Structure 1
Amino acid sequence: RGNGFQVKLLNFWRPINDFEELRKAKEDLSKFDYLSMKIRKATIKDVPELLKILYQLSPLENIENCKKNDENIVFNKIAENEDYYLMIAEIDGQIIATATLLIQQNLSHHARPYGHIENVVTDINYRGKNIGNLLMHYLIGLARIKNCYKLILNCSKEQVEFYRKSGFEIYNEVEMRFDI
């Protein structure tokens, strides 16, 4: 996470007001099947494989020191939250990437929510194949459907270019944003 740049996705100010636009946004979500890759919400059965990928994001954490019961309790809390999207990308049943979108309710901006992206990581054996970018665009489409006015995330300096490829820009020198 490095210096903790704040990142925002720009172009989220315009609400989706007509059904045709909403239909197109939903179609966008269905276009992200890269070869045999599928993107779906994680289930409790995915937790062991999911953790192996998440620990590639934070290699200083020790996977052996985690208690399986604690992980399952946390996952169940995540699954109960209808605004929490813990997504995985898989090929032939193997999890190859993950990203999280949390929809945060909001009273400002005409009571439109915003999205917070976290834990974007692709398995080391699949990096450089545009999978992370496809997963990011899936989350962008999901945020559009949820009528978010912006997406934000934090990243290190080293990750800024990755997020730029998905349409994020530096915002106020420490934030990036993409308005839809």
Structure 2
Amino acid sequence: MIREAERSDKDQIFDLYRMLVPNSKKMHVFEEQIETIRRDPNNFLLVYEENGEIFGTVTLNICLQALHGFRPYGVVENVIVHENHRNRNIGQKLLKYIEDYCKSIECHRIMLLSNSTRQKAHQFFEREGYSGSVSKGFKKYL
């Protein structure tokens, strides 16, 4: 089942993030932040849960813009499926859920960034209809 994350999911979400960025010393997951995201109508921290265990998570941010009238766009971040539960369509289900939601609010597009070294993730995103050749992403860490 896909649902919005709750405060009590903090530890399981942290474990998933640790799989995404195993050497990060700056990573922190706070219950208060999960709750803030949950209350915000334009931000979503989603989890894929089976029998009380969280096997996947993704963040969706809905961004307003003026270029396409009233049509917003979605930004997807931190797509992670537990390493012991990959190849079970969990990531596909999470992205489909996001796409269905974005269509329901008439988003213009969905964007995501992926670490340039994550070749398997890139193949997965392309299978799901995301093009890695349309744009070039840039980041500046602060």
Q: State TM-score, norm by structure 2.
A: 0.85
CA positional deviation for 1:127: 0.9
Select the residue among 39, 48, 67 that pairs with 1:89.
Answer: 48
Equivalent-residue separation in structure 1 for 2:113 and 2:135 (angstroms): 13
Tell me what 1:128 maps to: 87
Q: Once the two structures are superposed, what CA deviation does each residue of 1:103-152 show, in whole Å capped at 9, x if it has no partner?
A: 11111201210000000000011012221111111111111112101000
Sequence identity, in percent? Answer: 25
Q: 1:105 aligns with which of 57, 64, 68?
A: 64
Question: In the TM superposition, what are the counterparts of 1:20-169 in structure 2 within 5 Å?
Answer: 38-61=1-24, 66=28, 71-157=30-116, 158=119, 159-169=121-131
Letter in 2 for 1:160: H
CA distance, structure 1, for counterparts of residue 134 and residue 81 of structure 2: 28
Q: Tell me the distance in 1 between the aligned counterparts of 2:132 and 2:57.
A: 23
CA RMSD of aligned residues (A): 2.0
Structure whose CA Rg is larger: 1
Aligned to 1:5: none
Name the SS for the 1:90 alignment partner: strand
Are 2:59 and 2:77, in contact at CA under 8 Å, matched by a contact in 1? yes
Amino acid aligned to 1:49: Q
Q: Which amino acid aligns with 1:132?
A: G
C-alpha separation in 2, matches of 1:99 and 1:161: 17
Q: Secondary structure at the match of 2:98?
A: helix
Q: Provide the rounded CA distance (Å) in 2 between the counterparts of 1:86 and 1:105.
A: 18
Tell me how many residue pairs correspond in the alignment: 134
TM-score, structure 1 as length reference: 0.68
Indicate how the Cα distance of structure 1 residues 106 and 124 shifts in structure 2: closer, same or farther if over 3 A, else same.
same
Structure 1 or 2: more helix by fraction: 1
Aligned ranges 1:6-25 → 2 under 5 Å: none
Q: Tell me, which stretches of 5 or more residues in structure 2 are unaligned? A: 138-142
